[in-house]
Amino acid sequence: MEIKAKQLDSVNAIANVKIPLGSIKNEVQNLAKKASKNIKMDGFRPGHVPVSAVLKRYEKELIKDAEQNLFKYAIDSALKELQKENKDLIGDPYFEKFDRKDGEIEAELMLSFKPVLKLDGYEKLIPEYQTPKVSKKEIEDKKIELLKRFATPEAIKTKRALKEGDFAKFDFEGFVDDKAFDGGKAQDYVLEIGSKQFIPGFEEGMIGLKAGEEKDIKVTFPQDYGAPNLAGKEAVFKVKLHEIQELNIPKLDEKNLKLLLPNEKEPTEELLDEKLKEQIKNEKLFKLVNDELKAKFADALIEKFEFDLPKGIVEQEIDMQFRSAFSKFSEKEIEELKNDKEKYKEKRDSFKDEAKKSVKLTFIIDELSKIRKIEVSDQELIQAIYFEAYRYGMNPKEHLENYKKQGALPAVKMALIEEKLFSDIFIPKSNKKVKKEVEK
C-alpha cells in the first residue's frame, strides 16, 4: 500500500493512495477471522464458525469494511506525514479521484484543515453611522398603535363608503368555474380592510362599498396557495356588506397606563414616552444594522483579509446553494441539466464565488466571536428553536428533533452567534463611533 501526501496550500492537502488487491484481501481475511469468533451462524457453535463460512456469506460487506479500514489508515498516515492530527481536519476527507482496476484501487483524497486567521485592525472597517433620533409624531403614532389593543370596532353612524382601515361586517361566498368551493363561505364575517388577511385583490375590491350593497369580486388565488385545488385559479366572491365599523380608540387614562406599564409602580405618560422613544430608536438601529451596516462591514472584511479556504467546506457550500436554487429552476431548465453533464457542471460552478464568500465570512465571524468573547449557550440555542416553533404554531420538541436529525444545530448556533456579534459591534452603549444623534 502506497501513500504520498502533499500540502497544496496552508489548509488543503492531497493524499495519493494506491491499494493493491493483496492488501484488500489481507484485510478482508483479518476481519473475517475476528468475526468468526463472535458471529452466530446456524450449524456452528458460537466462537467456532469457520472463516470460510464467514467469507462466503458476508463477502460484500467484508470487502466494503476492509476498504474503509484501509482508507482510514491512509488518512492517518497522510496526517502523520503532513505533521497534522485528526483534530486538525475540518469536514470529511473526500475523493478527488477514485479508480478501480483489476481489484487495485488508485485514489486521491482531499484533506482540509481549519485556517488560522489574523484579523488585526478589523475595528477600522466598522462603518460609521448616526444613531437615529425619534420624533414626537413617531411616539404619538406608537401610542395610538398600542391603544388599539384595547379598542373595539363600533358601527359608524354615517352612510359613507368603506375605506382602508375600516372593519367590514359582511357575508361572502366564493366560486371557481361557477361552482362553490369548500371553505369559501361565511356570514357576518368581520375583516379589517388593508390587513391583507384575504387573498390579493379581495380587500381592495371591497373598498367603496356602502352598507347594504352587494358586489362580485374577481380574484386569482396565488400559485403557492395552501389548497392545491385552488392554487392559481380564478375565483369570484359574491359579497354583501352589512356594516362598516371603526375602531373606538380609548384615551390614555390611568387604567390604560397601568396596562401598558405593568411593571411600574407609578406609571406616567412621560415614562411611557421615554420607553417608546428607546424602543423606536432600537428598532430603527436594528433595521439600519440589518439592511445596510452588516452587509457593508461583511464586504469590507471579505475584501481586507485574505486566507486559504478549505476546499471541502467550499464544495459543501456550493452543493447547498445549488440544491437550494434547484427547486426554483423551470422544468425545462431542470430537464436540460439532467441530460447535459457540461451544463450541470457549469450551472453548479456558477455558485462557486458566492460559496467562497459565504465560507470566508463564516470563518471571519467565528474568529471575531472569539476575539469579542461572544458565546451562545445550549440553553439559548434551544430557546431560539422553541421560540421559532411557537411563532409558526409547531411542536417545539418535534422542531428541535428535526433540526438534530438534519444536523442543522451548528448552523442555527452560528446564526445566533452572528446576530449577537453584530449587535455587540453596532449597538453597544460603549461604541464611541455612535455618539452622534441626528434628526431624521
Listed in order, strand segments (DSSP E) in 158-229 are: 167-176, 179-192, 214-220
Nearest Cα residue to 29 out of 55, 50, 53: 55
- How would you classify residue 212: left for phi > 0, otherwise alpha for psi between -120 and 50, otherwise beta? left
pLDDT in tens, 66-87: 999 999 999 999 999 999 999 9
307-338 pLDDT, tens digit per residue, is: 999 999 999 999 989 988 887 888 888 888 88
Q: Give the architecture-level CATH label for domain 266-438.
A: Orthogonal Bundle (1.10)
What's the confidence (pLDDT) of residue 40? 83
Interatomic CA distance for residues 407 and 92, integer angstroms: 14
Which pLDDT value is given to residue 5?
96
- Cα 203 to its chain centre, rounded Å, is 32
CATH number for the domain formed by residue range(s) 152-248: 3.10.50.40
pLDDT tens-place string over residues 361-398: 999 999 999 999 999 999 999 999 999 999 888 899 99
* Domain 2-112: homologous superfamily in CATH: Trigger factor ribosome-binding domain (3.30.70.1050)
CA distances for 10 relative to 6, 81, 91, 308, 379, angstroms: 11, 15, 16, 6, 36
Q: If 0-12 CB within 10 Å is exposed, 13-18 middle and 19+ buried, where does residue 238 land?
A: middle
The domain locations on the chain are: 2-112, 152-248, 266-438
**Does pLDDT of 97 surpass 70?**
yes
Query: Where are the alpha helices (H) located in 261-408, listed in sequence order?
Result: 269-288, 294-304, 311-326, 331-339, 341-349, 352-371, 378-391, 396-406
Strand 94-101, strand 104-112: pairing: antiparallel
pLDDT digits (tens, 9 = 90+) for 418-440: 999 998 998 855 443 443 333 33
List C-alpha distances in Å: 221 to 127, 146, 256, 331, 392.
44, 33, 41, 22, 22
CA distance 363 to 369: 10
- Beta carbons of 174 and 184 less than 8 angstroms apart: yes
Neighbours of 60 (CB within 10 A): 8
